[in-house]
Amino acid sequence: MKNIPSIQRTTTQPKDLAALRQAFEGWSNTPDPLTRLTRRLSTTLSLETQLGILAEELRGTIPFDALNYRHQLGHRDFVFATGMGGPHRCEYRLNLEGICYGTLTLNRRQKFSDEELQGIEMFISAAVCPLRNACQFIAIEQAALTDSLTSIPNKRALDEHLQRASLLSDRHDEEYSLILCDLDHFKSVNDQHGHVVGDHVLRMTAEALGSAIRNSDSVYRFGGEEFAILLPHTGEQEARDVAERVRSTVADLNVDCGGTSLSVTISCGVATHLPEEGASQWIARADEALYRAKDHGRNCTRVFASIG
């Protein structure tokens, strides 16, 4: 029979708990602006909320007219602004361990004194770690919603955006349309030219789709050689026109395969959101329209008519 070592337990003394309670109450209720700032920043990973907290706490100690923050997060610019600017400004790059987490700019009508600039730097020093965490959280979220090959949103992102679009369409009685696209005979591209060329074709297709739509529209990699395009404020005929423009743009692509030129075509299925229709039913109708396009010879567009 094995000897089981006994676990030594230490008893917490009442004075230790009292000291802990006193420290917590001091931390929770301290009038010190830096402690209050870090305490408030620790309650959220929303970068926008954190910057609002920073602006509020900073303004309480050092008056300013405008605060602006800018950072490149993945493939998009994140911009936060509050207040109206003045002629005098101070600007700080938020660096931590050799990595920049954005640029913070303060403006006001009166020049900042040296003491005020030192105070601003103290606030930034207290805020930079929570801001770093919020930036990293956004990066993780973006990675989870981005296709690694084409760098466009993936099916998970599409599912989320379709749910939101369905709700907005019903709530505001607005038209939303969905296009599902599928590269024709893509398996033969991989078989004849290899997956490296196939991947290059997928990246070029994603870029071509993005160039053929408006800034308000969104392109997604639906899976394999399939793509999806979400069109807000777009009816059935407009969506068909976009699909035809997409089809023409993809047909114009040429891939140099080392002495030979490769071109591809794409088939499109269109469906406009119906009242009280869920995202899955909406996708199913667009997929049915895409199936019809493939069945009618490919390199064409078919619409799942919302009436009749």
Give Cα separations from 92 to 64, 122, 190, 231, 276 (angstroms): 15, 12, 49, 39, 49
For 172-218, the DSSP string reads HT--EEEEEEEETTHHHHHHHH-HHHHHHHHHHHHHHHHHTS-TT-E
Q: Where exactly are the structural domains of the chain?
A: 21-144, 155-304
- Measured at the alpha carbon of residue 32, what is the angle toward residues 29 and 37, in degrees to the nearest 5? 85
Please tell me whether the overall predicted TM-score, pTM, comes out greater than 0.75 for this model: no
Domain 21-144 has CATH 3.30.450.40: yes
Q: What is the pLDDT of residue 76?
A: 78
Cα pseudo-dihedral 15, 16, 19, 23, rounded to 10? -170
> Among the options 57, 116, 225, 226, which is catalytic?
225
- Reference 105, options 172, 35, 58; nearest CA is 58
Q: What is d(CA 38, CA 125) in angstroms, rounded to the nearest whole number?
A: 10
> What are the backbone angles phi and psi of residue 218, rounded to the nearest 5°?
-135, 140
Annotation marks residue 277 as catalytic: no
> What are the backbone angles phi and psi of residue 174, rounded to the nearest 5°?
-110, 150
- Considering the domain 155-304, what is its CATH architecture? 2-Layer Sandwich (3.30)
Tell me, what amino acid is at 157?
Answer: A
Q: What is the pLDDT of residue 7?
A: 53
Chunked into runs of 10 residues, the chain (308 residues) has average pLDDT values of 57 72 73 90 96 96 96 87 92 95 96 96 96 94 92 94 94 94 94 91 96 94 95 95 96 84 94 94 96 94 78
